[in-house]
A and B are shown apart, each in its own frame.
Chain A
Amino acid sequence: RKEVEQDPGPFNVPEGATVAFNCTYSNSASQSFFWYRQDCRKEPKLLMSVYSSGNEDGRFTAQLNRASQYISLLIRDSKLSDSATYLCVVNTGSGGYNKLIFGAGTRLAVHP
């Protein structure tokens, strides 16, 4: 079983749609969680951290369910510029060191 699993997509949605991505992780000792975004042929960049109580950043909402080892990302009012691959990232580090494990990513294509 992969350490971080995501639906690869692609998700093809019209502008203005709401879309949700899910992610599960296998290491119950994981401490911190993130969503990264990667544009085609570019490097990944941090989109947002995921806090235990859930958090929102503009049109983006992230949720964490530790009991189910499940993370989600909701994008409201999709824009063309949201088209990218969204990477679920889990920090499985121990002994005081970070070890960020990336999911394979979910591709989003927003069309006019």
Chain B
Amino acid sequence: DTAVSQTPKYLVTQMGNDKSIKCEQNLGHDTMYWYKQDSKKFLKIMFSYNNKELIINETVPNRFSPKSPDKAHLNLHINSLELGDSAVYFCASSLSSLGLAETTGELFFGEGSRLTVL
């Protein structure tokens, strides 16, 4: 029973198209995230939501629009895809976004969604 699940796992599309990636967690966590891992393997935070509220928006182009219908789901919609959007997108969740103790630092990642823009 997968804790953090993302769909689709692979996505190949043309420049200019619009696509969505869905994420669901069954851990009962309050906080969910989107990270982007580019070809150089650098994992960069994009967004974080705490209980459906946007907490972090890391200067991501507004072609990227996250949506959290409830605290167990965080979807990512990307408009007008560009070549530079090709990457692996990881969804993650954590117990709580509130507090900076070592115990709240564990992120549970989904398996990633590999997006290729042609």
Q: How far is the CB of B41 from chain A (nearest CB, A)?
A: 6
Interface of A is mostly: strand
- Are A34 and B41 in contact (CB-based, < 8 A)? no
Interface presence of B107 (CB below 8 A): yes
Most interface-central of A34, A43, A50 (chain B CB within 10 A): A43
| Cβ distance B109 to chain A, nearest Cβ, rounded Å | 4
Partner pick for B99 among A46, A96, A101, A104, CB 8 A cutoff: A96
What per-residue 1/0 map shows which CB atoms of B32-75 lie under 8 Å from chain A?
A: 00010000111111001010000110000000000000000000
When chains A and B are docked, how far (Å) is the Cα of A36 from the Cα of B70? 28
Chain A residue with Cβ nearest B101: A32
Report yes or no: B112 in contact with A43, Cβ–Cβ below 8 A: yes
Question: How big is the A interface, by class?
Answer: 20 to 34
Tell me how many residue pairs across A and B have CB atoms closer than 8 Å: 72
A sample of 30 inter-chain contacts (CB < 8 A) reads: A31-B100, A32-B101, A32-B104, A32-B105, A34-B106, A42-B111, A42-B112, A43-B112, A44-B109, A46-B105, A46-B107, A50-B102, A93-B97, A96-B99, A96-B100, A98-B31, A98-B94, A98-B96, A98-B97, A98-B99, A98-B104, A98-B105, A99-B45, A99-B56, A100-B45, A102-B35, A102-B42, A102-B44, A102-B45, A105-B43
Interface set of B (CB-CB < 8 Å, partner A): 31, 35, 40-45, 48, 50, 55-56, 90, 94, 96-107, 109-112
